[in-house]
Structure 1
């Protein structure tokens, strides 16, 4: 019996490994895919070259290109400044690019169209051409999508002159030569002489336009400067009169006189500070005399005042002169009155000086304001006079420039009849070849890497982690009933040899206990599992073994398409045990095997195969036969295969070549993994040898390889 496998996690491990490699690019696989599709790439390349050659030699119109060279003249500015009026053009790169845009502007090109009457040239005026089918379709679509709100603007854009200007613009090009002041104008048309004529005329129009613009700018400058000079002259006179009136109204003599007043104010401020100090000293003496009178201390009064009279009277008092005391007090009072008088005098002087100082400050402030105002007026007058003189000088210089303008550009070389520049057959063919190779390679890679099926045993083993026991080519039969005849008639065919390889791989999968009960199943129907089961049974019988082939798919019962002379009983009868096994099976002489047909049952098939009776039946079959081959239903359709798998020794899982989806195979293997069943090996069935060669695998893999053709019978 089949035991839970140690490698049931192989699928999960390989799947996670593939997830990690999803973002990696296998360059070898890319190369192999491209090599397998080499004929597709070659055909795409040849087809693209043919289309390119047809376009280059049969469809494309010849185009001729003529060029003229112009240069910007270096000159210094002559009028007000470089931005003003008529100075030379800046030779910086931005200015050169600006000149290019001017040359290709619609205004200049409009003059060109009018000068050469290009509106009557069918090459530039599409309305003169006979409309093609594509042009008619475009016109109809344009009329359908246009609205009433845009009809007027569209009508203006569709005017013949505007369309001609746009067409001429597409035929022209201009470029600046690096590290120089030279730029090239080119025209590409269907005529070499027309290209030269357009370029030369455009150069002349551009130079004439420069002169006209400069002359117009000069006239505008003269008019503007004249107006400005008149304005400045009136403004200057007005400011001078205002200055005179302001000078007459003020009593300011000069800035030097104002400085003298500031010196006087400083002297008064110093005198005030000195007198305030004297007042403070006098106030101190008055307070001291008051204290002495109040204290009646004559000795201290003599020491403090130091007055000689008080000293003399003090000596008299000490000698006993009574009148001296009255005289002493009278003298001290006199000194107090003198100090008070001095204090009053000083305060009066301070008041007078303060008033004088304030008046002087007001006078200084008033004259300073007048001085500042007059000086501002003087500066404004000087500024206006300078502007007036400057603009008057520029007006004279600009007036002299009238009629002396020159273009900032000149023609270095005129255009000559152009050379053919299109079509370029070599380049077109080379690009066609590259494009064809790219399209072919893209198609091959898309077909190779967007497919979700298996085409090689290597891919199948890499995706599942399970070995591939056999690779069975598609058998050239029209109906299922022809299978057994084919196996009999073609014992040395590639398919028969592939079955023998499958038989060998199955037996050697477990050398110690070779499997006796083998189950064949698949993910979905029509993958070749029944063919594998029948062919494998026939191959085991060829070894002289006793083989029982059981139809485990009792729901569809397809064995009836392969075998005739079927008995009435089948799997259900055999499981009942009422009839001996040898009476239920029938022997097929063509294959040399016993066959137990499927039988319709009222009991669910999964429940039937889960019963103990099926387990006992399998035990009897093991004892009676050398090999038991069971054909079971697809795993993703019903659970029967997983139930039967519990009683078998080996499980063969069939995968249809280039048809079974990878996700279907992975899902089916997960179903087995969920019930702890091990897939012994995978069979890549229904391989189309021609398809393998078409995909580039024909000389590389399996019994259908090119190098094996000499060993097998045809078909």
Structure 2
């Protein structure tokens, strides 16, 4: 890899690193512009101070008010005023009332602020009348202002000066007023607090009066409604013959319960009688004694049970006597007679009971039917009484409701009327406003300090913005980032006569920084072609006045200390080397040599003092491009290359004409000169692109005319030592080649 490719690669790497914002660069930029920034800041600060001093002071007085969130009411009339005092909405409402136009208007009227000098719009302060200095007459409109308009203007000005500031997490609120008069500020703040409290009391009083009027109107209607409902209740009682509905209803309920219980018992007896009757009927029309005795219902009959026991006792007695007596014994006969009598009675009673079962069944059936009829009648009567009771209760409830509503409104009307003179304030003044001694604004010192800081910041931003918007190539980083080309070196700006500086800058020793910088460029050129030295070197630039001729001359002088060098002025449109070297402008030169009108010895001018040979432009031809494009020029250049180690050609600028492109085709290396803080980067990029498109051997860029005062980043000491080392290294290489 060649040194040229290596330097290009290093340039691309440094360009990638430069993508990060270099804060040190901007810090240096601000440092070099510090006096401009400070001057601007001082000017702005003084201007602001003059304006601030002329401002009139503003005083602020504050009255602190406590707003109660719950009031001890003498009577229950909270619904009359209709305002909930338990939530934050209540306090927010009070704050907005304090800011209302109505309160402001009342304060203005009470204090007669419409005629106060600080508020009256008709009293204007004297100001600069620019119309008086006009060359023509200007009619001033003196429109009449109505009282309503004056009041409106005063209200607007008043509200702008009023400040309502609630204190967080408390029930306190500050009522502040700003004015140029401290007495007026305190008076307005205190008056505002008083009127706020008075307005609330007046509002409650007005609400009470409206409530009393409304309640009085409603009472008449409620009284008539109550009387009408009482009359309807009484008429219904008379119509239905009701005296004590509750007693009648209780009696009917008890009777209905008794009939229901009796009906249940009768139905039970009828069911039993019907069951017994059906059992007897199942035996047929004439059942026997034994069949009847087999029926449980007959056996359960008490009389049958006693007769059966009597018959059993007689039979037992006969059984006992038969053990001792015979059948004809009197006792035996008597016992047998008792058995027969008991059996006869039992048979008669069984038949009688069997016959009575049907009668009992029919009787129970009739009783159940009669009792059911009574129960149905009782139910109908109860339903009738119940419907009457419902109607009666409905009328009674209406009477009670009307009476309750009438009494409620009557009591509320009395309460509201009595509380007209018992209103309590919802707020009280905690701290009254006093006339302030010191103004709150303008804070003159603070404003001046802020203006100083802001002007410094604004000036700094403006400087950085100008630098960002400036497309000129200013630094080494710009060469690497914007031009994408290796940097050969930087040359400091030397002030003075251009022609004299061009020659003396390097050789006189008066400008050591320039001399060492030039040696650095010489070393860079030599090292880039250490294996294949660049014999023909073309020096060009983007546009005129970038110092390419000075660079070409001084590069030739620097190389002339080590090699045999020929300097050719090929800028035949605006030649400058002859004037810089104090040569006659009519001296023969390149045009004469190429055209063949003069001999090479007369065209080549040896400068013993500088140690180089020079070929000036000579007579300027009508078309220089045709001259340098000719084969004759190529032949001359080839011939000269045989006698010199280096040929340095000063070319025309690349953006103006195509001379540099043609000359670059003959060259081994192209040195491109860029003027710091002047050459636009897009223009330089365009010219370099044209060179690259024509395969020009671009060696690198020389950043010329760098103002060291504006760019302190270029450390002279570092540059000097670094360049001195490179120069010594170049001389060593030169001696090595000479020895070889």
TM-score, structure 2 normalization = 0.65
Question: Cα deviation per residue 1:393-427 (whole Å; 9 max; x = unaligned)?
Answer: 43332222112222211112222222313344443
Query: Structure 1 residues 594, 399: CA separation in 2 closer, same or farther (over 3 Å shift)?
Result: same
CA contact (8 A) 1:100 1:174 kept: yes
Q: What displacement does 1:199 show?
A: 1.9
Distance 1:32 1:3 in 2: 32
Query: Structure 1 residues 133, 450: CA separation in 2 closer, same or farther (over 3 Å shift)?
Result: same
Partner in structure 2 of residue 107 of structure 1: 102
1:566 equivalent in alignment to 2:586: yes
Q: What displacement does 1:33 show?
A: 3.5
**2:175 corresponds to which of 168, 171, 185:** 185
Query: Structure 1 residues 230, 544: CA separation in 2 closer, same or farther (over 3 Å shift)?
Result: same
Q: What displacement does 1:453 show?
A: 1.9
- SS of equivalent to 1:417: coil
Q: What displacement does 1:48 show?
A: 4.8
**1:410 corresponds to which of 408, 419, 428:** 428
Q: What displacement does 1:235 show?
A: 6.1
Partner in structure 2 of residue 311 of structure 1: none
Query: Structure 1 residues 541, 405: CA separation in 2 closer, same or farther (over 3 Å shift)?
Result: same
Query: Structure 1 residues 702, 9: CA separation in 2 closer, same or farther (over 3 Å shift)?
Result: same
Alignment of 1:66-81 (within 5 A): 66-73=61-68, 74-75=70-71
Cα-Cα RMSD: 5.1
CA contact (8 A) 2:7 2:486 kept: no
CA contact (8 A) 2:11 2:480 kept: no
Q: What displacement does 1:236 show?
A: 6.5
Distance 1:703 1:512 in 2: 31
Q: What displacement does 1:85 show?
A: 1.6
**1:432 corresponds to which of 451, 468, 471:** 451
- SS of equivalent to 2:125: coil
Partner in structure 2 of residue 37 of structure 1: 33
Distance 2:73 2:130 in 1: 53
Query: Structure 1 residues 476, 25: CA separation in 2 closer, same or farther (over 3 Å shift)?
Result: closer
Distance 1:234 1:78 in 2: 31
Partner in structure 2 of residue 593 of structure 1: 613
CA contact (8 A) 1:540 1:547 kept: no
Distance 1:134 1:82 in 2: 61
Partner in structure 2 of residue 653 of structure 1: 672
Alignment of 1:179-328 (within 5 A): 179-232=169-222
Query: Structure 1 residues 158, 81: CA separation in 2 closer, same or farther (over 3 Å shift)?
Result: closer
Partner in structure 2 of residue 312 of structure 1: none
Distance 1:207 1:599 in 2: 105
Alignment of 1:329-478 (within 5 A): 390-421=408-439, 422-478=441-497
Distance 2:489 2:26 in 1: 27
Question: Cα deviation per residue 1:239-284 (whole Å; 9 max; x = unaligned)?
Answer: 888999999999xx99999xxxxxxxxxxxxxxxxxxxxxxxxxxx
- SS of equivalent to 1:111: helix
Gaps of 5+ in 2: 133-137, 253-386, 723-740
CA contact (8 A) 1:586 1:595 kept: yes
Distance 2:60 2:615 in 1: 87
CA contact (8 A) 1:3 1:678 kept: no
Partner in structure 1 of residue 351 of structure 2: none
Query: Structure 1 residues 705, 568: CA separation in 2 closer, same or farther (over 3 Å shift)?
Result: closer
Distance 1:375 1:675 in 2: 120
Distance 1:490 1:463 in 2: 35
CA contact (8 A) 1:548 1:595 kept: yes
CA contact (8 A) 1:488 1:590 kept: no
Distance 1:684 1:519 in 2: 16
Distance 2:189 2:479 in 1: 69
1:118 equivalent in alignment to 2:95: no
CA contact (8 A) 1:466 1:682 kept: yes
Distance 2:228 2:640 in 1: 134
Partner in structure 2 of residue 97 of structure 1: 92
Alignment of 1:515-594 (within 5 A): 515-543=534-562, 545-551=564-570, 553-559=571-577, 561-562=579-580, 563-568=583-588, 570-571=590-591, 573-574=593-594, 581-587=600-606, 591=610, 592-594=612-614
- SS of equivalent to 1:128: coil
Gaps of 5+ in 1: 138-142, 258-368, 709-715
TM-score, structure 1 normalization = 0.67
- Kindly tell me the number of residue pairs found equivalent between the two proteins: 584
Distance 1:374 1:5 in 2: 121
- SS of equivalent to 2:546: coil
**1:490 corresponds to which of 467, 492, 508:** 508
Distance 1:379 1:411 in 2: 52
Query: Structure 1 residues 27, 482: CA separation in 2 closer, same or farther (over 3 Å shift)?
Result: closer
CA contact (8 A) 1:67 1:415 kept: yes
- SS of equivalent to 1:133: coil
1:130 equivalent in alignment to 2:125: yes
Question: Cα deviation per residue 1:8-39 (whole Å; 9 max; x = unaligned)?
Answer: 79988888887xx4xx6544444443344333
Distance 2:648 2:598 in 1: 21
Distance 1:238 1:476 in 2: 121
Question: Cα deviation per residue 1:271-322 (whole Å; 9 max; x = unaligned)?
Answer: xxxxxxxxxxxxxxxxxxxxxxxxxxxxxxxxxxxxxxxxxxxxxxxxxxxx
Distance 2:46 2:651 in 1: 55
CA contact (8 A) 1:71 1:183 kept: yes
Distance 1:527 1:370 in 2: 125
Q: What displacement does 1:373 show?
A: 12
CA contact (8 A) 1:497 1:703 kept: no
Q: What displacement does 1:113 show?
A: 2.1
- SS of equivalent to 1:223: helix
Distance 2:621 2:3 in 1: 29
Distance 2:668 2:699 in 1: 9
Distance 2:476 2:692 in 1: 21
Distance 1:485 1:411 in 2: 91
